[in-house]
Structures are given as C-alpha cells and as structure tokens.
Amino acid sequence: MTTNVPTILLIDDDTDDQEMFLSALEFIDESIVCNTAPNGYEAIMQLNDADSLPDLIFLDLNMPVMNGVQFLREVKVAHKAKDVPVVIYSTASDNQTIQEAKQLGAFQFITKPEKFSELVGLLHGLLYPATR
C-alpha cells in the first residue's frame, strides 16, 4: 500500500526557522518526513547520498557556504534531483530575486510568514492542494 505522505528537504541556515517549519509540518501530518540542511552545499551532499529523492525541496536564499541561487544553478542543470520541485522559502521578497529564482527553475516562491498559523496554511495548501 502506498501512502501520499510527502518527503521534504528544507535547506535553511536559521535554526529557529527550521524548528517552526518542522513544527508546522508535524501539526499538519506527523508522518511527513522532513530532512534539513544548513546550506546548499550540505543539501547537495545529502541528495547525492540519498537512496530516494524528496518530493519537494524548500530553499532559503540567504545562507553561508552555498546560497539558494547557487544551489538552484547547480541542481537544476544536471543533478539527479533536477526534477524535484523547489519552493523558495525566504525573507527576500523583491521582484528581481523572485524572477531570478523562477528563471533558475524554482517552482514557487514563498515569503516566510511570521505567524505559525500562516505557515501551517501555506504548507498545507502546497502539500495537499486538492484539500484546500
């Protein structure tokens, strides 16, 4: 029996944001699997070693070592994860950044919400679009 529980990779260097994101996922469905990476480089290492790819990648843009734009450039070209939808999850909200991310293959752009309830709503809508 297959389940429709999504697996997620969250790439974000902010541990508070990671905790809120993981709490929101747990609130939506405790069986959702979410791995985290503190930057694009670590994420690529995780993806290289993974037996199976995540269903969705949430990507912060402003990170040390390898930022979100650099990660997108590398993954969307010739990586085994190039077909995994990437949702930009960032505090950046200017049009130039959004356009650049979309040109590089980002599936969607979400500005990090300040309220937990907003994050739950956003994630639920993304993960289970038919039930909105």
Distance of CA 88 to the CA centre of its chain: 6
pTM exceeds 0.85: yes
Q: What angle, 0 to 180 degrees and rounded to 10, lies between the N-to-C axes of helices 68-78 and 95-103?
A: 20
Element (H, E) at 51: none
**What domains are there in the chain, each with its CATH number?**
7-13+23-92+103-127 (3.40.50.2300)
pLDDT tens track for 53-109: 999 999 999 899 999 999 999 998 878 999 999 999 988 778 888 888 889 999 989
pLDDT tens track for 4-49: 778 999 999 999 999 999 999 999 999 999 999 999 999 999 999 9
For residue 35, what pLDDT is reported?
Answer: 96
- Complete edge-to-edge strand list for the sheet that includes strand 86-90: 33-37, 7-11, 56-59, 86-90, 108-111
User: Cβ distance 57 to 86 under 8 Å?
Assistant: yes
Whether the pLDDT of residue 131 is over 70: the answer is no
